[in-house]
Amino acid sequence: MQNDIILKDLSFNYEGTPVLENINLHYSKKDFLAIIGPNGGGKSTLLKLMIGILKPQHGSVTLFGKSPGQVSERISYVPQNTFTTKGFPIQVLDIVLMGRLSKTKSFSFYSKNDKAMALKMLEKVGMETFAHHKINALSGGQRQRVFIARALASEAEILFLDEPTASIDTAGQIDIFKLLKQLNESIGIIIISHDINVAMNYATKVAHVNKTLYLHDVGNAKNFAIFDTKETPVHICPIELITATRCTHLHPKQS
């Protein structure tokens, strides 16, 4: 199996409070990975470690065989908070163009090609008519689409999204997930989602993160036999709750 991302014995703490412990993960960009878990469970921290915004205190992150900082132009990112400085004068198109930064020349303005690409990506998220609107005039859901377009404009091989559909209505969420699913034919998708239902319908792998990480294979979720165990699993697994089946993996006892 191809391993585009390898997390090895990854641990992270904020001022002594452990957020993530002993995370191990192998990810191939063929997969659509949804990261779920409770608030404060370390989902965003994990994502930021994977893209290199945060540095691990223990263990290692390997992207395409290198450290995240060396391959930053091969990945892109949609942040959780898209509410920018109030009154900052900037148009939607100019934000999407930022996605082109690593593809365009350093000491000049954006090219026609960059602009065409940015417009194309706005069209993909259904925001092309807003290209010349100021970002501050847009709703939360519209902003999130713009930030997705910005990430798409990077032409990255793996796209990381931190709750990109948090302020989008259900119909809009499904549109976004459909788009991501279609993109997943050629690029990797790693998404933090609060909506397990939607995530389950599109993801091929689900990682449940709550200080530790449990990886679930969604493809087999409906087929596997009831997990026969004499030990009661201590980790309450949302995947089990939804699929009404038991996980194929063993949940180690939490101390």
Residues within the interface to other proteins (CB under 8 A): 51-53, 72-73, 75-77, 79, 84-85, 87-91, 94-95, 97-99, 101-102, 104, 106-107, 109-110, 132, 134, 150, 154
User: Residue 10: which of 46, 38, 36 has the closest Cα?
Assistant: 46
The residue among 44 and 212 lying less far from other proteins, judged by its C-beta, is: 44
The residue among 11 and 72 lying less far from other proteins, judged by its C-beta, is: 72
The residue among 76 and 165 lying less far from other proteins, judged by its C-beta, is: 76
User: Nearest approach, Cβ of 94 to other proteins (angstroms)?
Assistant: 6
User: Nearest approach, Cβ of 74 to other proteins (angstroms)?
Assistant: 10
CA 6 to CA 3: how far, in whole Å? 6
CA 180 to CA 32: how far, in whole Å? 9
Sign of CA dihedral 96, 114, 44, 190: positive
CA 55 to CA 66: how far, in whole Å? 14
Strand partners, 75: 158
User: Nearest approach, Cβ of 102 to other proteins (angstroms)?
Assistant: 4
The residue among 156 and 180 lying less far from other proteins, judged by its C-beta, is: 156
| CB crowding 45-57: b at 16 or more within 10 Å, else e | bbbbbbbbbbebe
Distance, first Cα to last Cα, the chain: 32
Directed axis angle between helix 170-183 and helix 140-152, to 10°? 0
Strand partners, 215: 207
User: Nearest approach, Cβ of 17 to other proteins (angstroms)?
Assistant: 17
The residue among 85 and 223 lying less far from other proteins, judged by its C-beta, is: 85
User: Nearest approach, Cβ of 156 to other proteins (angstroms)?
Assistant: 9
User: Nearest approach, Cβ of 76 to other proteins (angstroms)?
Assistant: 7
User: Nearest approach, Cβ of 101 to other proteins (angstroms)?
Assistant: 4
CA 165 to CA 137: how far, in whole Å? 19
The residue among 71 and 203 lying less far from other proteins, judged by its C-beta, is: 71
C-alpha torsion angle, residues 58, 32, 148, 160 (rounded to 10): 10
The residue among 53 and 221 lying less far from other proteins, judged by its C-beta, is: 53
